[in-house]
Structure 1
Amino acid sequence: MPLPEAVAAAPAVAAAKVLSKTVKVNGLDIAYREAGPKDGPVVLLLHGFPSSSHMFRNLIPQLASNYRVIAPDYPGFGNSSAPSLREFPYTFAALADIVDGFTDAVGAKSYVLFMQDYGGPIGFRLAIKHPDKVKALIIQNAVANVDGWNPDVVKQFAPFWQKRNSETEAPVRAMLTPETTKFQYVHGSTRAERLSPDAWIHDQANLDRPGNAELQVEMLFNYQDNVAQYPAWQEYLKRRQPKTLIVWGKNDPFFRLEGVEFFKAQLPKAEVHLYDAGHFALETHLDEIASASLDFLNRLPKGN
């Protein structure tokens, strides 16, 4: 078509360009995705297992018109450094320290936390350490109470946590297989046509890197420390009453709706949206979650 017509037909607002960057934190290369105005309020996206910032690839541009949206990869995940077990302690506390240092490195003085799965344990540690930096929470399928877990998953992990050996480790290593990675995406998901195989293929490629399985098993073993931290997180929620949005795939095979009910009891003013989706609800309900998140962000006090 002629140039004037092409210009007229172009969207009024172009999608925010998502940049891929790397920054040094405690000697490690931490990869991250970023979009939005440099001086905008920061939204820090914390990914789950076995994913990376890749899980937010489509959400970032939807939030970035007025917000600086940042999504790091943890050590051992995505494109960040993956030091060996001898070189780095693969614990949730250590990952939280890296993310804390990351926020300093990128100049994020305050932020809204978007936490999914592993992002919950990491984000809650940040919130307790820096309650004044964390301006609000967006929680997507991440729990802070034992009843929020599927009991079958607890049965799979409890023997491993109680006595780690090759026998108890075997069911946990099943979490690293291609079948389980795909299961995490497809189980409970509606709108199957929206599920991109690229998501679980990408995650599995990361899991299958030489030596990565040992790092992931170590993280899964350390997950028991998160359970031990639940009382502290619960006290934080009860005492601080952070502004909170909950966007939740209600068919999650790992985290039950009891997790949502717990948050509602602790945070009576929390806004809750349930979707007919699974663990990775962003894959099938991106527009709904992005819309709810933007509406929530836009209602936060200015300057946050």
Structure 2
Amino acid sequence: MQHVSTAPAIPVVHYRTASIDGVDVFYREAGPANAPVVLLLHGFPTSSHMFRNLIPLLADGYRVIAPDYPGFGQSGSPDRASFAYSFAHYADIIDKLTVKLGASRYSMYVMDYGAPVGYRLAIAHPERVQALIVQNGNAYTEGLEAFWDPIKAYWAEDTPARRQALEWLVTLETTKFQYTDGMGDLSRISPDNWIVDQALLDRPGNRDIQLDLFRDYGTNVPLYPQFQAFFRERKPPTLIVWGKNDKIFPEPGAHPYLRDLPDAELHLLDSGHFALEEKLDVMAPLIREFLDRKVSR
């Protein structure tokens, strides 16, 4: 007698590349083609790799798309002379990718750099956003504390000296710090994270790409009032899952969301910057239950 397994099917993750304006944009995709879309937007200095464990936990009921920005992960890294490494350009690239993939509506998980990329998409196409999942991603000046002081100095004075003063941000020590600082249980954090990220940061020319982006991050701050207006006017269902020990995007950046999104569900986790690495077992059920309640199929 043949044994028939009753275990749920394990979603298959596909690793694909699309050409957007002549640039190879890598993305991970899983889930039914006709299911509601969840767009996962990564932070610095990582890539869609940060979502590798979350994707299968959502993909049985959602179409999950997780791209790498140009200069990150497995996407192309065009020369700075011919490609503008900016948050406006990233938002445009991701916008064109979603159109190419037929993702006309989506929920967004935004983290770190993913927040300004996602919020730029939101103010350009507010009707497309079904829900927000916010994890250590800023839209309020309260969240830009001491860590940002040397970066703010670069925004104020774009000089070689100010630029050089930020090179510590792309070192192995800093990359490892982002994964380990503020974590309660380091045995949960795979060293593969900082080894993979640092190998990509160390590619020829990538340091200057990242320094360009540190400078350009300053263009997001004047857009904060527009991001906040989107929150107030559209009131997307919002789940905030925030590593409260993060020194880069600290806890004070989480609370102001409630001014504009008073119905947002806020969970402060005893974790650090990359909370998903340590608290997947807490965050994944919160995210799944939130999507199941708030996103129509």
- The TM tier, using the shorter chain, reads over 0.9
Shift of residue 105 of structure 1? 1.1
Shift of residue 14 of structure 1? 2.9
Hey, what does 1:207 align to over in structure 2?
201
Asked if 1:143 corresponds to 2:170, the answer is: no
Q: Distance in 2 between matches of 1:169 and 1:153?
A: 15
Q: Distance in 1 between matches of 2:9 and 2:181?
A: 34
Hey, what does 2:257 align to over in structure 1?
263
Number of residues paired by the alignment? Answer: 297
Change (3 A) 1:11 1:280: farther
Q: Distance in 2 between matches of 1:84 and 1:135?
A: 35
Give CA deviations for 1:20-62 in whole Å, capped at 9, x if unaligned: 0011111111100011111110000000000000000000000
Contact in 1 for aligned 2:243/2:269 (Cα 8 Å): yes
Asked if 1:20 corresponds to 2:20, the answer is: no
Shift of residue 269 of structure 1? 0.3
Shift of residue 264 of structure 1? 1.3
Kindly report structure 1 stretches of 4+ aligned residues shifted beyond 4 Å: none
Long gaps (5+) in structure 1: none
1:199-278 residue pairs with structure 2 within 5 A? 199-278=193-272
Q: Secondary structure at the match of 1:31?
A: strand
Give the alignment's TM-score, normalised by structure 2: 0.97
Hey, what does 1:54 align to over in structure 2?
49
Shift of residue 193 of structure 1? 0.6
Give CA deviations for 1:178-209 in whole Å, capped at 9, x if unaligned: 00000000000112110000011111111001
Shift of residue 170 of structure 1? 2.4
Shift of residue 266 of structure 1? 1.3
Give CA deviations for 1:220-258 in whole Å, capped at 9, x if unaligned: 100000111111111111221111000111101111221
1:3-152 residue pairs with structure 2 within 5 A? 7=3, 12-150=7-145, 152=146
Shift of residue 301 of structure 1? 4.4
Shift of residue 18 of structure 1? 1.1
Contact in 1 for aligned 2:131/2:295 (Cα 8 Å): no
Report percent identity of matched pairs: 48
Give CA deviations for 1:118-160 in whole Å, capped at 9, x if unaligned: 000000000001111111100000011111122x223221221
Give the alignment's TM-score, normalised by structure 1: 0.95
Q: Distance in 2 between matches of 1:40 and 1:171?
A: 46
Change (3 A) 1:73 1:301: closer
Contact in 1 for aligned 2:32/2:59 (Cα 8 Å): yes
AA of the residue aligned to 1:133 = R
Long gaps (5+) in structure 2: none
Q: Distance in 2 between matches of 1:65 and 1:240?
A: 28
AA of the residue aligned to 1:271 = E
Q: Distance in 1 between matches of 2:120 and 2:284?
A: 25
Q: Distance in 2 between matches of 1:32 and 1:110?
A: 17
Q: Distance in 1 between matches of 2:250 and 2:258?
A: 14
Shift of residue 293 of structure 1? 0.5
Q: Distance in 1 between matches of 2:156 and 2:143?
A: 20
